[in-house]
Amino acid sequence: MQTIEDKIKQKAKNLGFDLVSITSAVPVDSAHIEHFKKWLAGGCHGKMNWLAKNIDKRFNPALLLPTAKSVICTALNYKPAKTALTPAVKIASYALYPDYHNFIKKRLFELADFIKNQTGKELQFKVCVDSAPLAERALARRAGLGFIGRNHLLTNPRLGSFLLLGELITNLLLKIDVPMQKKDFCKGCCRCIDACQTGALSKNLFFNARKCISYLTIEHKGRIPKKLKSKINSHIFGCDRCILACPYNKKAPVCRSRDFKLSAERLNLSPKQILKLSQETFNVLFTDSPLSRTGLRQLKRNALICAKNAI
């Protein structure tokens, strides 16, 4: 006879999630919290000031849902085929597709409806997909979805780190899964650190967002420091260098989800074409894309850097 946990996991898989595990809603361990506070104190978060807010909520799911007892952690593999990794400009792989927030949230709400029907109980829940202040990677690691690698991404030994995370916090008391066996999954490997041209990754376990190409091209709104411009090369939105360098990702399977549809029109845009875009064309072309988040002005700033680097 299937347990409710088995039914939830099977339904999540049927909805298209590649990984699903359950952890409790108790706070994240104190060592993780202290590491995060030291990271903030060092200014490594750059101008992402929202990361310094709601710290208590970030590490305690019960502060997002007072009745919380369990957290159902899910992950979707978004690894693109090799043919999709050669656009005219370099775009982070997740941004090659439509905005993932919408379809992951939809699936989690469907999962919540399923749980309501199965239990017949009044279900209180909260859906989270990285926009809520929640330590997703720490919870996913605790639930046994994977480990946090030297690139600071949740990595699954089978699926790698091309993973998009989502959580369903619920008042339902569920049997929890255990973390992966404690060992150094990255032992002897520093390929992600070596692949980072700007030095955002280092062996001291701190990630310096201020030097990260993803931060510079997406989150940083002002001028990009001159010494970093040349290292951006042709990256116009985000960077996958540390992900692509990871051995776990080289052998990971390609994404097969129907939700991840590539846009040839976006892939083939050159820096010169982007510099000529009107606001109207930008709005139409990127209406359902993560690239819309940067805005046209910032995208043109990045395109100009890419164009100059190509000379």
User: Among 244, 242, 233, which Cα is nearest to 303's?
Assistant: 233
Question: Which residue in the list 99, 113, 130, 240 is annotated as catalytic?
Answer: 130
pLDDT of residue 239: 95
Residue 276 reports pLDDT greater than 90: yes
pLDDT in tens, 137-146: 999 999 999 9
pTM attached to this predicted model: 0.94
Q: What totals of helices (H) and strands (E) does the chain contain, helices first?
A: 14, 8
CA separation for the pair 179, 191 (Å, rounded): 25
Q: Are 266 and 291 in contact (CB under 8 A)?
A: yes
The CB density around residue 199, as the number of other CB atoms within 10 Å, is 12
**If you ran DSSP here, which 8-state letter would residue 53 be given?**
S
pLDDT in tens, 6-49: 999 999 999 999 999 999 999 999 999 999 999 999 999 999 99
Instruction: Give domain limits for the chain.
Output: 4-81+94-170, 191-309
Residue 1 reports pLDDT greater than 90: no
Beta bridge partners of 19: 75
Q: Are 17 and 116 in contact (CB under 8 A)?
A: no
130 tagged catalytic: yes
E strand segments, 12-132: 19-24, 70-77, 90-91, 125-128
CA separation for the pair 288, 285 (Å, rounded): 8
Q: Are 20 and 114 in contact (CB under 8 A)?
A: no
